[in-house]
Amino acid sequence: MTSQADHDALTSSAYAQALEVIGAVEPRIAEATRAELADQRASLKLIASENYASPAVLMTMGTWFSDKYAEGTVGHRFYAGCQNVDTVESIAAEHARELFGAEYAYVQPHSGIDANLVAFWSILAHRVEGPWLQKAGLRGVNDLTEADWEALRRELGNQRLLGMSLDAGGHLTHGFRPNISGKMFHQNQYGTDPETGLLDYDALAAKAREFKPLVLVAGYSAYPRRVNFAKVREIADEVGATLMVDMAHFAGLVAGKVFTGDEDPVPHAHVVTTTTHKSLRGPRGGMVLATEEYAPSVDRGCPMVLGGPLSHVMAAKAVALAEAKQESFRTYAQQVADNAQSLAAGFTSRGAHLVTGGTDNHLVLLDVSSYGLTGRQAESALLEAGVVTNRNSVPADPNGAWYTSGIRFGTPALTTRGFGHDEFDTVADLVVQVLSSTQPGTTKAGGPSKASYVLGDGVADKVKAASAEMLDKHPLYPGLDLA
């Protein structure tokens, strides 16, 4: 067993040497890598979809597994020599099944979008293609004539998907028109209650009854509340829909047992998709969990919509999932949720307006229109002061999806650095200082601008100094010294 000091020294020397090796080939990349660490260390990272993976997870991605092709599934590959990839994929899937209590786990998707594509096409394969082939008396797609293809394609392209609208907090892949999900399906969207900003289950049920979707998608990117997935499953069952939950944002809270019972999507959904790099704190990637019923079609992710899996990332997923099984991850996940409450309370006590009035997950959505700003202006002013966030639509946003009226804040990253209640209260104070000191700017022609802004003199420096004090007390990768 190595001591923490030994472990830190090992990590520092491994990275220092790796950067030397990289620098010998392309010094500018080694330099940019060092600069990225310095920037991440020096900024208040409040982007709800970002985190800091452990050095073990990061290092796992930098190996020769990157070089191996392994299309197919464990034990059934289209390439020779995949025995070690089989090992890492099996371990990652085993951890995922155990951690989430899932009947089946598919760890190949390269990202959240890929995981959703796998899910959509698995559902179409299971619910549409399979029964259609059976009815036509055909064994598989290889038996189709040109006329059969035409008919099957029409059938596959004529299905309905109901998802949460983007301005209510849903994701692009949940049926947003510019995304493929809004084109390959007849799509319809549900929103939130205009008064409370909360998910209205009765309105969702009414829409589902009227629209009769094949796929009902729950899950979100910017909804600051928990969802009762048992209720959503009841709605799906009533209308004969497959329930797909995209837990990309809150997978860490599910893994850490903050969301249990009706708030845990895994026992209620037919198919659950996720990213592995947000609150789950793993490598960038995606994953699909499914019931036994959907497992065979999900297993066909490659070749259905995926090519060769990223074996090095699957290995890193296994390491991250092993970390998420530890007791300390539960403490972390609870702290993420507690910190979001502290941040929300800090904003509210300083007069800021929050969508839904607060939070009970890991994110807070601040409506910046009361400061006379667009989300774009607020995001830029905050960045100038070293506060990294992203602008986001609010329900029925008058400024649309580009300029927006909101700023989304998330607690997973700074919680990884060890921030607690007091620090998040200070964060709220700093953010409010910036927003109250920012004025909308003008266009070159002198008209009102939705993008330019003017931040009061000295505010950025003052906020950066206050942030630096907190960040210094909670260093990122504390033992990592590249000097």
Active site residues: 69, 71, 246, 275, 278, 284
* Stretch 135-194 residues interacting with ligand PLP (CB under 6 A): 171, 173
Cis peptide leading into 303, omega within 30 of 0? yes
> Of 192-200, 241-249, 359-367, 399-407, which part binds ligand PLP (CB under 6 A)?
241-249
3 state DSSP class of 245: strand
Q: Six-digit token pair at 129? A: 């293609």
Residue nearest to ligand PLP (CB): 112
Q: Six-digit token pair at 61? A: 């991605």
Closest distance of CB 23 from ligand PLP, Å: 29
> Of 10-18, 112-120, 136-144, 299-307, which part binds ligand PLP (CB under 6 A)?
112-120
> Of 87-95, 107-115, 133-141, 177-185, which part binds ligand PLP (CB under 6 A)?
107-115
Q: Give the nearer residue to ligand PLP in terms of CB position, either 314 or 434.
A: 314
Q: Give the nearer residue to ligand PLP in terms of CB position, either 110 or 186.
A: 110
Q: 303, 275, 305, 314: which is closest to 66 by C-alpha? A: 314
* Stretch 402-441 residues interacting with ligand PLP (CB under 6 A): none
Is-contact 210 245, C-beta < 8 A? no
113 interacts with ligand PLP by CB under 6 A: yes
Please identify which residue in 68, 95, 127, 249 interacts with ligand PLP, judged by CB under 6 A: 249
Q: Give the nearer residue to ligand PLP in terms of CB position, either 43 or 49.
A: 49
* Stretch 218-237 residues interacting with ligand PLP (CB under 6 A): 219, 221
389 interacts with ligand PLP by CB under 6 A: no
111 interacts with ligand PLP by CB under 6 A: yes
Q: Give the nearer residue to ligand PLP in terms of CB position, either 113 or 368.
A: 113
Please identify which residue in 19, 45, 46, 49 interacts with ligand PLP, judged by CB under 6 A: 49
Helices 421-436 and 327-349 pack at an angle, to 10 degrees, of: 40
The DSSP line for 279-327 is TT---S-EEEEE-TTTHHHHTTHHHHT--S--HHHHHHHHHHHHHHTSH
3 state DSSP class of 188: strand
Please identify which residue in 72, 77, 89, 112 interacts with ligand PLP, judged by CB under 6 A: 112
State the Cα–Cα distance between residues 88 and 75, nearest whole angstrom.
12
Q: 238, 254, 252: which is closest to 102 by C-alpha? A: 254
Going by C-beta distance under 8 Å and a sequence separation of 6 or more, which residues neighbour residue 237? none
Q: Six-digit token pair at 208? A: 């589902």
51 interacts with ligand PLP by CB under 6 A: no
State the Cα–Cα distance between residues 301 and 106, nearest whole angstrom.
8
Closest distance of CB 248 from ligand PLP, Å: 3
State the Cα–Cα distance between residues 311 and 313, nearest whole angstrom.
5
Q: Where are the alpha helices (DSSP H) in 325-445?
A: 327-349, 375-384, 400-403, 412-416, 421-436
Which residues is 439 bridged to in the sheet?
454
46 interacts with ligand PLP by CB under 6 A: no
Q: Give the nearer residue to ligand PLP in terms of CB position, either 173 or 189.
A: 173
Q: Give the nearer residue to ligand PLP in terms of CB position, either 247 or 432.
A: 247
The footprint of ligand PLP on this chain (CB under 6 A) covers a number of residues equal to 14
Closest distance of CB 145 from ligand PLP, Å: 37
Q: Which residues bind ligand PLP (CB under 6 A)?
A: 49, 111-113, 116, 171, 173, 219, 221, 246, 248-249, 275, 286
